[in-house]
C-alpha cells in the first residue's frame, strides 16, 4: 500500500491548502515561491498514541465550549484564555494550548453556518514544527511534563525521498488514529513562463486553451456507479446497520476518484513544465450553488455535478504546479462559458446542453475550449510570449486598459489580506 504517488494527497489538510497566487503588488511574478506538500505516513496505533489523541480531542472540545460560552472571538484570545488553565487541568506541556486553540478555533469558525453545536468528533491532533522532533523515521511528540510519545513511521520509497531530502523544511505534523501527515516545504524558483494556458473543468473533461483535452468521464462514471449502488442498497436493506456501513461507504469511491484526478493533474503539470506554461484556473466559489435545483439540469446530473470534485482537481493541479515551480493564477469565473472568445460578446441564453459555441461574429468552436480561452485571457501572470493572436473585444479592452496595474495592485492587496486572515 505504501510508496505510491496516490499517497501524496493531503486529505486531512486539503481544507487548509491555500495555493500561491503569483502576482505581487507591482503586478509581477516573484522569483521564487514557497511550495508545501504534505506527505502521508502510516503508523501502528498504541495505547499511548490513543491516549494522546483522546486527550487532545478532550482539550479541543473543552476549548470550543469555553469559546462559545464566553463569546471569545479569535484564535489568539482563545489561546490566552486557556493557556494556564489547560496546563494545570490536563498537565500537558506548554505547546498544547497553542495547537488546541488553533484547531478549536478553526472548528468554531467553520461551524458558524451550521445549526448544531460544534464539537470535535474525529481523533486528530496537530503540532507545529518547532514542537516535535523527527529522527529519521521516529517521530517524537511531547505530551505531559517529562513524557514524550515515540512513533515509528512506516513509509515507502515515495515518503523516503522526502525524509532524505536535506533541502526540504519540515512543517506541522497532523496525526489521526491511523495515519500521520507531515508538511514539507521548499523555496523554489518560479519558471519564467513563455505562455499562459487556461483550464476549463467540466463534468466530462479538463479542456486546455491550447486544445488539449483530458478525459474525466471516469470520474462521472464512478459517481454514477457508486451512487446507483448506494441507492439500490438503501432501498432494500435500509434497516441492517452492519450491511449499511459495509456498502454505503463512499471511501472506495473517493479513493478511486482521487487516483483518476492524480493522473490528470500530473499530466497537466508535466506538460506545463515542459512547455514553460503558466496555469490559469477559475475561482470556483459558486460551483455548488449553480448546480442546485432550478437550473436546467435533471436530478441525476445535478447529483453528479454537486459531487464532482472540481476543487480537489484544482488543488491537486495547484500544489503539484507550485512544487514544480509552475506559476498558477486563479481568475474570476464570471461568464467564462458565455462570452465569445473571439469577439467578446455575451450570450446569456446559452443552454447547458449546447456543446458548441456559435456566435454571430462567425466563431464556431467547442464550448469548453471557448471557456478555456476566456480563462486564459483573464490571466495576468507575465509571460515572455504574447497572448493568443486574433483576439478582439474583451481582450483588447483588457490589454489596452491603462488602469490595469491599479486593479492588479488592489487585487494583490486583497489577496494578501485574505492570506493573512486565514491561518491554516
Smallest distance from the beta carbon of 371 to Zn ion, in angstroms? 14
What's the start-to-end Cα distance of the chain, in Å? 29
Is the Cβ–Cβ distance between 118 and 69 less than 8 Å? Answer: no
| Closer by beta carbon to Zn ion, 311 or else 338 | 338
Chain positions contacting Zn ion, by CB under 5 A: 340, 342-343, 359, 361, 363
Q: What burial letters (b/e) apply to 146-174, b meaning 16+ CB within 10 Å?
A: eeebebebebeebbeebbeeeebebbbbb
Give whichever of 79 and 342 is closer to Zn ion, judged by the CB atom. 342
Report d(CA 219, CA 312) in Å as an integer: 12
Q: Phi/psi at 43 (nearest 5 deg)?
A: -155, 165
Decide whether 345 or 424 has the Cβ nearer to Zn ion.
345
Output the CA–CA distances (angstroms, integers) from residue 400 to 26, 115, 179, 388, 394, in the order listed: 18, 49, 53, 15, 10
Considering beta carbons, is residue 38 or 370 the nearer one to Zn ion?
370
Distance, in Å, from the CA atom of 219 to the CA atom of 255, rounded to the nearest integer, reads 11
Sheet holding 169-176, edge to edge: 32-42, 179-189, 169-176, 124-127
* 168 versus 340: smaller Cβ distance to Zn ion: 340
Least spacing, CB of residue 213 vs Zn ion, in Å: 22
Q: Least distance to Zn ion from the beta carbon of 385, Å?
A: 24
Q: How far is the CB of 365 from Zn ion (least distance, A)?
A: 10
In the chain, what's the furthest Cα-to-Cα distance? 76
Q: Residue 328: what are its φ and ψ, rounded to 5°? A: -130, 140
> Measured from the CB of residue 359, what is the shortest distance to Zn ion in angstroms?
3
C-alpha cell at 184: 514539507
CA 183 to chain centre: 14
> Alpha-carbon dihedral of residues 270, 273, 274, 280, nearest 10 degrees?
90
Kindly state the DSSP code that residue 209 receives in the 8-state scheme: T
- CB closer to Zn ion, 78 vs 340: 340
> Min. distance of Cβ 370 from Zn ion in angstroms?
9
Residues 6+ apart with CB under 8 A from 392: 342, 343, 344
State the minimum distance, in angstroms, from the CB of residue 355 to Zn ion.
17
What are the residues facing 11 on neighbouring strands?
none
CA distances from 199 to 24, 223, 341 (A): 22, 22, 14
Q: Considering beta carbons, is residue 320 or 342 the nearer one to Zn ion?
A: 342
- Shortest Cβ distance from residue 361 to Zn ion (Å)? 3
Nearer to Zn ion, 316 or 336 (CB): 336
| Closer of 9 and 209 to Zn ion (Cβ) | 209
The CB-of-398 to Zn ion minimum distance in angstroms stands at 16
Amino acid at each position: 500500500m505504501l510508496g505510491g504517488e496516490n499517497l501524496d494527497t493531503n486529505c486531512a489538510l486539503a481544507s487548509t491548502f491555500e495555493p500561491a497566487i503569483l502576482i505581487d503588488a507591482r503586478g509581477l511574478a516573484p522569483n521564487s515561491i514557497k511550495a508545501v506538500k504534505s506527505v502521508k505516513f502510516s503508523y501502528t496505533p498504541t495505547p499511548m498514541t490513543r491516549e494522546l489523541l483522546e486527550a487532545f480531542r478532550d482539550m479541543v472540545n473543552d476549548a470550543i465550549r469555553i469559546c462559545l460560552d464566553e463569546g471569545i472571538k479569535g484564535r489568539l484570545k482563545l489561546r490566552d484564555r486557556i493557556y494556564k488553565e489547560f496546563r494545570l487541568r490536563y498537565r500537558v506541556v506548554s505547546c498544547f494550548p497553542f495547537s488546541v486553540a488553533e484547531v478549536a478555533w478553526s472548528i468554531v469558525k467553520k461551524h458558524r453556518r451550521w445549526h448544531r453545536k460544534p464539537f470535535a468528533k474525529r481523533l486528530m491532533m496537530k503540532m507545529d514544527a518547532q514542537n516535535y522532533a523527527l529522527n529519521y523515521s521516529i517521530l517524537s511528540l511531547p505530551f505531559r511534563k517529562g513524557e514524550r510519545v515515540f512513533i515509528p513511521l512506516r513509509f515507502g520509497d515515495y515518503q523516503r525521498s522526502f525524509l532524505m531530502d536535506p533541502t526540504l523544511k519540515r512543517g506541522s505534523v497532523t496525526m489521526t488514529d491511523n495515519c500521520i501527515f507531515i508538511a514539507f516545504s521548499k523555496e523554489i524558483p518560479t519558471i519564467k513562463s513563455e505562455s499562459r494556458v487556461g483550464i476549463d473543468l467540466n463534468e466530462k473533461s479538463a479542456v486546455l486553451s491550447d486544445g488539449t483535452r483530458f478525459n474525466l468521464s471516469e470520474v462521472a462514471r464512478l459517481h454514477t456507479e457508486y451512487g446507483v449502488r448506494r441507492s439500490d442498497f438503501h432501498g432494500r436493506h435500509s434497516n441492517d446497520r452492519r450491511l449499511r456501513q459495509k456498502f454505503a461507504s463512499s471511501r472506495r469511491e473517493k479513493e478511486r476518484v482521487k487516483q483518476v484526478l492524480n493522473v490528470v493533474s500530473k499530466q497537466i503539470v508535466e506538460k506545463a513544465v515542459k512547455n514553460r506554461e503558466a496555469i490559469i484556473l477559475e475561482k470556483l466559489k459558486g460551483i455548488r450553488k449553480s448546480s442546485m435545483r432550478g437550473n436546467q439540469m435533471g436530478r441525476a446530473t445535478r447529483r453528479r455535478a454537486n459531487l464532482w470534485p472540481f476543487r480537489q482537481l484544482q488543488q491537486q493541479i495547484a500544489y503539484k504546479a507550485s512544487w514544480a515551480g509552475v506559476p498558477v493564477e486563479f481568475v474570476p469565473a464570471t461568464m467564462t462559458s458565455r462570452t465569445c472568445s473571439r469577439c467578446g460578446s455575451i450570450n446569456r441564453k446559452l443552454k447547458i446542453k449546447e456543446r458548441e459555441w456559435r456566435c454571430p461574429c462567425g466563431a464556431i468552436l467547442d464550448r469548453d475550449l471557448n471557456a478555456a480561452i476566456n480563462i486564459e485571457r483573464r490571466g495576468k501572470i507575465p509571460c515572455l510570449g504574447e497572448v493568443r493572436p486574433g483576439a478582439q473585444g474583451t481582450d483588447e479592452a483588457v490589454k489596452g486598459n491603462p488602469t490595469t496595474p491599479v486593479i492588479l495592485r488592489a487585487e494583490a492587496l486583497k489577496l494578501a489580506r485574505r492570506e493573512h486572515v486565514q491561518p491554516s
